[in-house]
Structure 1
Amino acid sequence: MEDYIVRATAADGQVRGFAATTRQMVETARQRHNTSPVATAALGRLLSAGAMMGSMMKNDTDMLTLQIRGDGPIEGLTVTADSHGNVKGYAGNPEVMLPPKNGKLDVGGAVGIGLLKVIKDMGLKEPYSGQTILVSSEIAEDLTYYFANSEQVPSSVGLGVLMEKDNTVDCAGGFIIQMMPFAQEKTICKVEENLKKLSSVTSILKQGHMPEELLEILFEGLGLEITDTMPTQFYCNCSKERVEQAVVSIGRKEIQAMIEDGEDIEVKCHFCNTAYKYTVEELKEIIKRSK
Structure 2
Amino acid sequence: MNDYLVKAVAYQNQIRAYAVNSTATVAEAQRRHAAKPTATDALGRSMTAGVILGAMLKGEEKVSVKINGGGPLGTIMVDSNAKGEVRGYVSHPQTEMEINEVGKAVGMNGLLTVSKDVGLMHPFVGQIPLISGEIGEDYTSYLSKSEQTASAVGVDVLVNSDSTVKAAGGFIIQLMPGADEEVLNIIKDRMKVIAPLSSMISEGSTPEQLLEHVLGSENVTVLESMPVRFQCQCSVDRITNAIISLGSEEIQDMIETDGHAEANCHFCNEFYYFDTEHLQALKEVAL
TM range (shorter): over 0.9
Matching residue of 1:48: 48
Q: Distance in 1 between matches of 2:117 and 2:181?
A: 34
The corresponding residue for 2:60 is: 61
In the alignment, is the contact (CA less than 8 A) between 2:244 and 2:285 conserved in 1? no
* Structure 2 residue aligned with 1:2: 2
Q: 1:199 aligns with which of 180, 184, 195?
A: 195
Aligned residue identity for 1:89 = G
- How far apart are the structure 2 equivalents of 1:70 and 1:247? 33
How well do the aligned residues superpose, as a CA RMSD in angstroms? 1.9
Contact 1:38 1:97 in 2 (8 A): yes
1:107 partnered with 2:102: yes
Matched, 1:16 2:11: no
Indicate if the aligned counterparts of 2:244 and 2:282 stay in contact, CA closer than 8 A.
Answer: yes
Deviates more, 1:15-24 or 1:258-267: 258-267
In the alignment, the residues of structure 2 paired with residue 70 and residue 21 of structure 1 have an alpha-carbon distance, to the nearest angstrom, of 26
What is the 5 A alignment of 1:1-291? 1-58=1-58, 60-100=59-99, 105-112=100-107, 113-220=109-216, 223-247=219-243, 255-261=251-257, 263-290=259-286
Consecutive unaligned residues of structure 2, counting only runs of 5 or more, are none
Check conservation: 2:167, 2:198, Cα contact below 8 A: yes
Is 70-79 or 17-26 further displaced after alignment?
Answer: 70-79
Change (3 A) 1:39 1:221: closer
Deviates more, 1:42-51 or 1:194-203: 194-203
Verify the 8 A CA contact 2:20 2:171 in the aligned structure 1: yes
Using the TM superposition, give the Cα deviation of residue 198 of structure 1 relative to its aligned residue in structure 2, in angstroms.
2.0
Deviation at 1:238, TM superposition (A): 1.4
Percentage of identical aligned residues: 40
Q: 1:185 to 1:31 in 2, by over 3 A?
A: closer
> Residues 185 and 81 from structure 1, CA distance in 2 versus in 1: closer, same or farther, beyond 3 angstroms?
closer
Unaligned runs of 5+ in 1: none
**Are the equivalent residues in 2 in contact too, given 1:108–1:136 (CA < 8 A)?**
yes
Q: TM-score, normalised by structure 1?
A: 0.92
Q: Which is worse superposed, 147-156 or 252-261?
A: 252-261
Aligned length: 286
Residues 194, 220 of structure 1: 8 Å contact kept: no
Q: Provide the C-alpha distance between the structure 2 equivalents of 1:177 and 1:183, rounded to a whole number of angstroms.
A: 13
Q: Deviations over 1:241-281 (max 9, x none)?
A: 21235545777665433201353332111111111111113
* Structure 2 Cα separation of the partners of residues 246 and 266 of structure 1: 12
Name the CA distance, whole Å, in 2 between partners of 1:186 and 1:65: 32
Does the 8 Å CA contact 1:187/1:222 hold for their aligned counterparts? no
The offset of 1:123, in angstroms, is 0.4
